[in-house]
């Protein structure tokens, strides 16, 4: 859970619920709702908190694919304190808000970061940190709509000899490995515990293995918050944030009831914009993740990144792709093929209009020293941003962010570019992704493709306007 120093805008109505026999069986008065006439600068196809209250932090939490519907929670603050908003969807694209039930009046504490998992009998269950309680807690829904919840149960680990380990309780994650539940309590040097029944917990000490590699590029004591541990390919991924570094992940092995990372990489690059990751496994076996996007001017709070599909094939290189269901939002397709751009020249896509777009651009190998596109400048190409890759560059430039990325010998460059008002998300060859919020919103994107250090052949460009996820035509 990330809590920065900021003043909050509080809602005018409070969540309330009926509690009987220790269970939340009642109704909540507060249901977030998208305004009938949202401000013109609000985003079109990114999920964001519409109000009331302020989603800061806006961590995504506790995501499930359950009985034909997807459920996602995120943190916001209303008059009762920190609560979990609840949205559901049948396609991971268009979302419906439910009553805000997971709130202090029904839980007895505020809602800070956590994750969702399934019990041995397939029941969806959440684990989270109870703000102000000094404890992590477990709950499960009592109905298929996730509108009614059990009484929260504290996670109270004991040492093997029955003593209180005096451990830190923070940003928990829980997963089922075989017949054993493991739960991680985050922060620096996160702690691990296990249970067979989610009631009795045995403290296991540090989660990180004593053989933690010295050359991993990040120290063993680095902050591991908003953690999410899961199996991907033949590795275990520990997805998390550091409050100083942003979103990041380890790949490694979970053995001897310890986690031994083999590699480490970032998902946030220099500006901590990409924060608080959360993932789930879909019914068709895809690992899908979200993250909270910060520092997007004029956007509503609690902004979530586009859902990303993660895959780890046999080559051991993580694949990062935009959610395939986003294609449902496409309309008014435009195509260009076999464009030649000379070294130092540009090609403008003058007839491309709109401020909610997706582009797919494929540049033929060999890609020269630099190739890419300028966008979101004015009609005189002022105040624009650039997306650059190619040649012997070892980075993908998206505005000021420069995540590592290099083309293989003889490899085409394929860029998936999502423009939503002033927010730009870019995916390169399914191996890297980055986001940047430009300072300007343009009715025309003013896209110009360019080549530097050699000629370029653009095999194809596909562009689509994107429908809103809030008011579908």
Residues 333 and 456 in one domain: yes
E strand residue ranges, 221-286: 225-232, 235-242, 246-255, 258-266, 274-281
Instruction: Give the model's pLDDT for residue 41.
Output: 84
Residues 339 and 206 in one domain: no
The alpha carbon of residue 186 and the mean position of all alpha carbons in its chain are separated, in whole angstroms, by 18
Give percent of the chain above pLDDT 70.
Answer: 93
Mean pLDDT for 216-240 is 97
Phi, psi of 100 (to 5 degrees): -85, 100
- C-alpha dihedral, 355 to 360 to 366 to 370, nearest 10°: 20
Task: Compute the distance between CA of residue 133 and CA of residue 418 in angstroms, rounded to an integer.
Answer: 41
**DSSP category for residue 8:** P
Instruction: Give the model's pLDDT for residue 471.
Output: 62
Full DSSP string of 395-454: B-EETTB--B--PPTTPPEEEEEEEETTEEEEEETTTEEEEEE-S---SS---EEEEESS
Task: Compute the distance between CA of residue 473 and CA of residue 309 in angstroms, rounded to an integer.
Answer: 27
Q: Is residue 106 part of a domain?
A: yes
Residues 143 and 188 in one domain: yes
Task: Compute the distance between CA of residue 112 and CA of residue 82 in angstroms, rounded to an integer.
Answer: 7
Using the predicted structure, report yes or no on whether residue 321 has a pLDDT greater than 90.
Answer: yes
- Domain of residue 338, residue span: 326-466
Residues 54 and 126 in one domain: yes
Q: Are residues 179 and 120 in contact, defined by beta-carbon separation less than 8 angstroms?
A: yes
What SS3 class is residue 38? Answer: coil
Q: How confident is the model at residue 408 (pLDDT cuts 50, 70, 90)?
A: very high
Residues 344 and 219 in one domain: no
Q: How confident is the model at residue 83 (pLDDT cuts 50, 70, 90)?
A: very high
Q: Are residues 187 and 223 in contact, defined by beta-carbon separation less than 8 angstroms?
A: yes
Mean pLDDT for 308-315 is 97
What SS3 class is residue 346? Answer: strand
Q: Are residues 249 and 264 in contact, defined by beta-carbon separation less than 8 angstroms?
A: yes
Q: Is residue 321 part of a domain?
A: no
Sheet holding 69-78, edge to edge: 60-66, 69-78, 81-89, 96-97
Q: Is residue 330 part of a domain?
A: yes
Residues 202 and 107 in one domain: yes
Average pLDDT across the chain, whole number:
92
Closest CA to 458 of 296, 342, 314, 375: 342
Q: How confident is the model at residue 12 (pLDDT cuts 50, 70, 90)?
A: very low
Q: Is residue 5 part of a domain?
A: no
Q: Is residue 81 part of a domain?
A: yes
Mean pLDDT for 205-232 is 96
Residues 76 and 185 in one domain: yes
Instruction: Give the model's pLDDT for residue 179.
Output: 96
Residues 234 and 366 in one domain: no
Residues 429 and 290 in one domain: no
Domain of 204: which CATH number? 2.115.10.20
Number of domains in the chain: 2
Instruction: Give the model's pLDDT for residue 376.
Output: 96
Residues 219 and 105 in one domain: yes
Task: Compute the distance between CA of residue 3 and CA of residue 187 in angstroms, rounded to an integer.
Answer: 13
Q: Are residues 248 and 199 in contact, defined by beta-carbon separation less than 8 angstroms?
A: no
Task: Compute the distance between CA of residue 141 and CA of residue 128 in angstroms, rounded to an integer.
Answer: 14
Residues 99 and 244 in one domain: yes
Q: How many CB atoms lie within 10 A of CB 179?
A: 7
Q: Is residue 311 part of a domain?
A: no
Task: Compute the distance between CA of residue 120 and CA of residue 441 in angstroms, rounded to an integer.
Answer: 49
Domain boundary (305, 335, 350) is at 305
| ∠ CA 256-276-125, rounded to 5° | 65
Using the predicted structure, report yes or no on whether residue 18 has a pLDDT greater than 50.
Answer: no
Instruction: Give the model's pLDDT for residue 276.
Output: 96
Task: Compute the distance between CA of residue 75 and CA of residue 275 in angstroms, rounded to an integer.
Answer: 13
Residues 214 and 265 in one domain: yes
Is the torsion defined by CA of 429, 431, 437, 438 positive or negative?
negative
* Residue count of the chain: 473
Tens of pLDDT, residues 445-469:
999 999 999 999 999 999 999 999 9
Q: For the chain, how far is it from start to end, CA to CA, in angstroms?
A: 37
Using the predicted structure, report yes or no on whether residue 14 has a pLDDT greater than 90.
Answer: no
Tens of pLDDT, residues 93-128:
999 999 999 999 999 999 999 999 999 999 999 999
Q: Are residues 127 and 173 in contact, defined by beta-carbon separation less than 8 angstroms?
A: yes
Element of type H or E holding 105: helix 104-107
Tens of pLDDT, residues 416-443:
999 999 999 999 999 999 999 999 899 9
């Amino acid at each position: 859970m990330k809590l920065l120093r900021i003043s909050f805008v509080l809602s005018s109505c409070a969540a309330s619920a009926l509690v009987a026999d220790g269970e939340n069986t009642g109704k909540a008065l507060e249901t977030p709702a998208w305004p009938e006439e949202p401000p013109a600068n609000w985003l079109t196809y990114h999920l964001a908190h519409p109000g009331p209250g302020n989603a800061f932090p806006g961590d995504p939490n506790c995501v499930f694919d359950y009985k034909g519907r997807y459920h996602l929670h995120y943190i916001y603050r209303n008059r009762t304190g920190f609560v979990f908003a609840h949205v559901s969807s049948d396609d991971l694209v268009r979302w419906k808000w439910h009553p805000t039930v997971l709130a202090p009046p029904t839980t007895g504490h505020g809602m800070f970061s956590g994750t969702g998992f399934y019990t041995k009998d397939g029941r969806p269950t959440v684990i989270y940190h109870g703000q102000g309680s000094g404890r992590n807690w477990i709950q499960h829904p009592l109905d298929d709509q996730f509108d009614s919840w059990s009484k929260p149960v504290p996670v109270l680990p004991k040492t093997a000899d029955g003593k209180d380990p005096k451990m830190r309780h923070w940003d928990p994650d829980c997963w089922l490995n075989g017949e054993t539940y493991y739960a991680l309590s985050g922060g620096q040097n996160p702690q691990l515990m296990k249970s067979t029944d989610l009631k009795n917990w045995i403290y296991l000490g540090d989660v990180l293995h004593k053989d933690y590699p010295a050359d991993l590029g990040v120290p063993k004591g680095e902050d591991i918050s908003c953690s999410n541990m899961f199996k991907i390919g033949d590795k275990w991924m520990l997805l998390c944030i550091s409050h100083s570094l942003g979103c990041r992940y380890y790949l490694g092995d979970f053995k001897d009831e310890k986690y031994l990372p083999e590699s480490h990489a970032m998902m946030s690059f220099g500006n901590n914009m990409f924060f608080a990751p959360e993932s789930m496994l879909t019914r068709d076996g895809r690992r899908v993740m979200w993250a909270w996007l910060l520092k997007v001017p004029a956007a509503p709070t609690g902004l979530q990144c586009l859902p990303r599909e993660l895959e780890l094939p046999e080559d051991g290189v993580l694949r990062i792709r935009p959610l395939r269901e986003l294609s449902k939002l496409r309309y008014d397709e435009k195509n260009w093929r076999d464009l030649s751009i000379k070294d130092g020249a540009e090609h403008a896509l003058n007839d491309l209009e709109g401020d909610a777009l997706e582009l797919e651009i494929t540049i033929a190998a060999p890609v020269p020293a630099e190739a890419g596109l300028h966008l979101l400048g004015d009609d005189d190409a002022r105040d624009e941003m650039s997306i650059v890759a190619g040649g012997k560059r070892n980075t993908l430039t998206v505005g000021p962010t420069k995540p590592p990325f290099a083309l293989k010998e003889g490899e085409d460059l394929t860029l998936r570019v999502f423009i939503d008002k002033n927010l730009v998300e870019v995916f390169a060859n399914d191996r890297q992704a980055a986001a940047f919020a430009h300072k300007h919103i343009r009715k025309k994107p003013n896209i110009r493709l360019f080549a530097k250090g050699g000629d370029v052949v653009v095999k194809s460009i596909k562009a689509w306007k994107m429908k809103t996820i809030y008011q579908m035509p």
